[in-house]
Structure 1
Amino acid sequence: MLIQRIITGSILAAIILFSAFKSDEYLSIVIGILTLAGAWEWAYLAGIESPIRRAAFVVLTLLPMVGIHLWTYFLEFIAVSFDWAEVRNYSGIIEWLVVPPVLFWIVMMFIIRRAPEGILNVKLKINLKLVTGWFVLVATWMFLIRLRALYGAEMTIYYLILVWMADIAAYFVGRRFGKTKLSPEISPGKTVEGMYGAIASGVICAIVLSLIYRFPIMIASDFVLLSALTVLISIYGDLFFSVVKRQRGVKDSGTILPGHGGVLDRIDSSIAASPFFYAGVLLIHTGIIS
C-alpha cells in the first residue's frame, strides 16, 4: 500500500512540477484538471448522487476559471493594441479576492481546534456545501496560478515542495514518535508530534530557500514564519476535509488515485494552503510585513 502510494504520488508530483516549471498555461491546465476532478468528488461528498448534477457542479466550477483567463487576455489585448500598459493593473483586483479564503481557513482552523465534536455535528444543506466547495476549489486554482504568473516558477515550486514535504514529515514523524492525538474525533491517525514535524520541515525549507537566494535577514525571517504558518493551515485544511468525509460516512473522496483514494485526498492540504501562502508572499513582496 505504501509503495503504491509513493508511486502514485511521485507521478502526480512530477507532472505538477513539470507544468509549474514549463509555463503559466501548463500549470493552469494541470491544476485546472485536478480542480475539476476535485469538484466532481466534492459534489458527491456534499450529498449529490446524480452524475448529471455532479457534472453541472463541475461546469459551474469551470466558469470562473475560464472567466479569469478571458479577463486577463482581454487586458493584455487592450494593453498591446492601444499601447496602454497601465491597463494591466486592473488585473490587480484579483488580489483582494484572496482575503475571503484566507479568513475562511483561519476561522476553520480555530473551529476545528476548539470544537471538533461540534463541527462534526453541524448539518449543512447540500446547496451550502456546494457553495463552500466551489469557493475553496476556485480559490485554490486562482491563487496557485496567480503565484506562478507573478512570482515565477521558483516560488511556485517552493510552495509545492513545502506542502508535500510537510505531508511526508507529518506522516513519518507521526508514525515514529506520535503519541498525542491532534484531533481524535476527526482523524485518529494525526498526532501533535506529526504536526510539529511538519512545521519543522516547513522551517527547514524556508531556511534552505533563504540561503540559496541569500535573502536579507528580515525577508528570511518572514519566509520562515510564512512557511510555518502555511504548513499549519495545510494541516487543518486536511482535517476540514476529514470532517466532510466523516459527515458523508466515507473514508476517501474517490478512487481515481491508487494508494491515495480521490483527488481531494491528495490535494486537501494544498487547497487550504495556496491562498494563504499567496497572500503571505504578496505582503512580503510589497514590504508590508518586513
Structure 2
Amino acid sequence: MLIQRIITGSLLAALIALAVFQLSSTYFSLLLGLVTLLAAWEWCNLSGLDTTKQRSIFFVSLIFPMLWIHFWSQFLELGAQSLELIVQAIYQWAKGADFITISSFLDGWDIPDVRVFSGFLEWLVIPPVVFWVIVMLMIRNTPSGILALELKTKHKAWIGGFILLTTWMFLSRLRTLYGPELVMYFLVLIWSGDITAYFVGRKFGTTKLSPEISPGKTVAGFYGALIAGALSAVALNLIWWVYYDKLPSMMIASDFLLLSVLTVLISIYGDLFISVAKRQRGIKDTGSLLPGHGGILDRVDSILAGAPLFYAGIYLIYRQVS
C-alpha cells in the first residue's frame, strides 16, 4: 500500500510540476478547472447530490463563475499591458518631438500594477480565509459537535461549491500574477507538511489529534508538519540567496516564515474537514481515481484550506515591498 502511494504520488508530483512551469497561465487555469470539476463530482457524492438535475445545477453554478473570473482577470492583465504600450508610445513620441514636460512626466509615472490594483477580486479572499478559520476553531474545540452537525443537501452543495471555486480562483491568480515559482512553493509546502505529519506521526505519535474525526492523525504529526513549514520557508530564503546572490530583507524572510507556518496549520484542518464529510457520509475515500490515495478530494483537501490564506499572505507581502 505504501509503495503504491509513493509511486502514484511521485508521478503526480512530476506531472504537476510540469504543468506549473510549462503551461501558460490560461492553460494552467483550464487544467486546474478540470481538476476542480473532478473534485466537484466527488463532492456530489459526499453531499448527497444524487440526481442528474442536482448535479447539473451544481456544475453550472461552478462553471459560470469560473469563466467570468477567468475572463475578468485576463481583461485586467490585458488592460495593464495595453496601457504600458500606450504610455511607452507617447513617451517615445514626446521625447522625439522635444516635448520635455510630457516626456518628463511619463518618465516618472509608474504603470498601475495589476497585482496590487485588481479591483474587488482581491477582497474575495476574505470570505474563504474566515470560513477556514471558523472550521479550524470548530474542529479544534467541538469535534463531536461538528460531526453531529446535520446540514441539508443544498447547504452542503453551497459549501462545496464555495471552497472549490475559491481554491481554483486563488491558485489560478497566484500562477497568473506571481508566477509558477510561488505556486510550486505552495504545493511543496503542503506536500512537505503532509509527508512529515505522516512519518512523524507513525514514529512518535501517541496522542491523537482528533480521534473522533481522524484516528490516524497525531499531535506529534501536527507539530512535525508545522516544523516542516518553517523549514520550507528557510529553504526558500536560502534558494533566494543562491539565486539572487543576496539574502532577502528581514521583513520578507520573517513574513514568509510566518505565512508558511500558518498555511500548513490551516491546511491540516482542510484535511480534517474532508474527513468530517466522509464520516458523515460513511465512506473511507472520496473516490478511487488515484491508486493508493483514493479520490481527488483526498489529495487536495489540504490545498483547499491553504490556498486562500497563502494567496492573501503573498498579496500583503507584495504590497509591502512594491
If the TM-score is normalised by the length of the shorter chain, which range does it land in?
Answer: over 0.9
How far apart are 1:129 and its partner, in Å? 0.5
Match of 1:160 among 187, 194, 211: 187
**Cα gap change, 1:120/1:263 in structure 2, threshold over 3 Å: closer, same or farther?**
same
Report the CA distance between 1:75 and its aligned residue. Answer: 3.9
Deviates more, 1:208-217 or 1:108-117: 208-217
Q: Describe the SS at the equivalent of 2:216.
A: strand
Per the alignment, in what secondary structure is the counterpart of residue 287 of structure 1? helix
Of 232, 254, 261, 2:294 maps to: 261
Q: Please state whether the residue corresponding to 1:57 is helix, strand or coil.
A: helix
CA distance in 2, matches of 1:77, 1:219: 29
Distance 1:161 1:51 in 2: 37
The residue type paired with residue 224 of structure 1 is L
Deviations 1:12-34 (A, max 9, x none): 22222111112312321222111
Tell me if the contact between 1:16 and 1:30 (Cα under 8 Å) persists in the aligned partners.
no
Q: Which moved more, 1:53-62 or 1:180-189?
A: 53-62
Structure 2: gaps (5+ residues): 88-110, 241-246
Matched residue type, 2:197? A
CA–CA distance in 1 between the matches of 2:230 and 2:78?
A: 42
- Distance in 2, matches of 1:26 and 1:244, equals 31
CA RMSD of aligned residues (A): 2.0
Aligned to 1:48: 49
Q: What is aligned with 1:226?
A: 259
Measure the CA separation in 1 of the matches of 2:283 and 2:31.
Answer: 27
Note the residue ranges of structure 1 that are not aligned, 5 or more in a row.
Answer: none
Query: How big is each residue's C-alpha offset from its partner over 1:125-146, in whole Å with a ceiling of 9 and x where there is no partner?
Result: 1111100000000000100111
CA contact (8 A) 1:40 1:57 kept: no
Provide TM-score, normalisation by structure 2.
Answer: 0.84
Kindly state the Cα deviation for residue 73 of structure 1 after the two structures are TM-superposed: 3.2
Aligned length: 288
- Compared with structure 1, are the counterparts of its residues 90 and 204 closer, same or farther at alpha carbon in structure 2 (3 Å cutoff)? closer
Conserved 8 A contact 1:75-1:87: no
8 Å CA contact retained: 1:166, 1:201: yes
Secondary structure of the structure 2 residue equivalent to 1:251: coil
Verify: 1:97 aligned to 2:124, yes or no.
yes
Q: Distance in 1 between matches of 2:208 and 2:113?
A: 52
Q: 1:1-290 maps to which residues of 2 (within 5 A)?
A: 1-22=1-22, 23-76=24-77, 80=82, 83=86, 91-213=118-240, 214-287=247-320
Given that residues 8 and 292 in structure 2 are in contact (C-alpha distance below 8 angstroms), is that contact kept between their aligned partners in structure 1? yes
- Cα offsets for 1:14-60 (capped at 9, x unmatched): 22211111231232122211111111111110012224532442232
Amino acid at match of 2:21: F
Q: Greater Rg, structure 1 or structure 2?
A: 2
* TM superposition shift of 1:156: 1.1
CA contact (8 A) 2:128 2:308 kept: yes
CA distance in 2, matches of 1:73, 1:48: 33
Contact 2:66–2:169 (CA under 8 A) maintained in structure 1: yes
Closer, same or farther: CA 224–78 of 1 in aligned 2, 3 Å: closer
Contact residue 211 and residue 217 of structure 2 kept, 8 A:
yes
Report deviation, 1:62.
1.6
Q: Distance in 1 between matches of 2:294 and 2:45?
A: 14
SS state at 2:209 partner: strand
TM-score by length of 1: 0.93
- Cα contact 2:171–2:307 (8 A) shared by 1: yes
Structure 1 Cα separation of the partners of residues 173 and 74 of structure 2: 14
Give the aligned residue type for 2:253.
Answer: A
SS class of match (1:190): strand
Q: Secondary structure at the match of 2:118?
A: helix
SS across alignment from 2:215: strand
Deviation string, structure 1 residues 255-283 (Cα, Å, up to 9, x no partner): 11111111000100000000010111111
In 1, distance between residues paired with 2:2 and 2:174?
32
Cα pair distance change 1:219/1:60, threshold 3 Å: same
CA contact (8 A) 2:259 2:310 kept: yes
**SS at 2:283 equivalent:** coil
